[in-house]
Structure 1
Amino acid sequence: MNVREFLMDLPSKISPEAIEGKESLFHFLISGEEGGNFTARIKDGKAEVIEGLEDEPKCVIKTSDSVFSKILSGKQNPQMAVFTGKLKISNLSEMMKFAKVLGLM
């Protein structure tokens, strides 16, 4: 599964119960051929992902398509990617609140 497919499929993988009463907005800035810019919105018990950047994010995630793919496949530890600068997260506490829900941990 490529990065775009993973992000666009996120809403179907998130149970409404897991995000009930939670709200956030993420921007994913993924470089490379399989990358792109995506907005993930969690609001009113619903998750939505669109291509492009909308509104003011609470957290921005920047990385390459190859690093993101390795994280998804378990070949790259996300914490090591952050420590080595391969993965940049603007608001780590916000990311940690949603990492499990988003399937990133």
Structure 2
Amino acid sequence: MWRKSSLGFAAKRRPGWSRLGNSHFLFLTKEEQRMTTIQELFETMSGAFKPEAAPGVDAVIQISLTGEQAADYYVTIANDECKVDEGKYESPTASLTVDGQDYLDMVSGKLNPQMAFMQGKLKISGDMGLLLRFQSFFDLSGLG
């Protein structure tokens, strides 16, 4: 079926599957979809940092992801700046270990971090007060 577009010329109606957005994402395996999302999350964290939410914070948070998308990242917050690196930090201020999908669910609000901790899905060590505030240091509202 042809219809007039907003630009004033006729355009063929696109099939329904093409209007789903990020259609290339549909052709990835579930593992590739999760890995892409994990990578996107950590790639966007520095830009999503809100320095006004973390005044005076000087810390390194180690995030160890387990499961299908196992990976290690550490987040350095100092001088109102945030830097994310892949790998393990020798002596972080605080650390957390969690399944990669559970971490995405916590960041997107689908899983309560306190419930994850109580259910044994989330293991933490170090400065617990810092970890309780950690998520508020970022605006990741576009995720999930």
TM-score (norm 2): 0.64
Query: How far does residue 100 in structure 1 lie from its aligned partner after superposition?
Result: 0.7
Which runs of 5 or more residues in structure 2 are unaligned?
1-35
Name the CA distance, whole Å, in 2 between partners of 1:15 and 1:103: 7
Aligned residues: 104
**Per-residue Cα deviation, 1:22-65 (whole angstroms, up to 9, x for no partner):** 21100000012333000100011110000001241011110001
The match for 1:57 is: 92
Tell which deviates more after alignment, 57-66 or 70-79.
70-79
The verdict on how the C-alpha distance between 1:19 and 1:34 changes in structure 2, with shifts beyond 3 A counting, is: same
Native 8 Å contact 1:27 1:59 kept in 2: yes
| Structure 2 counterpart SS, 1:99 | helix
Larger Rg: 2
Match for residue 100 of structure 1? 136
Root mean square deviation of aligned Cα: 2.0
Q: Which is richer in helix?
A: 2
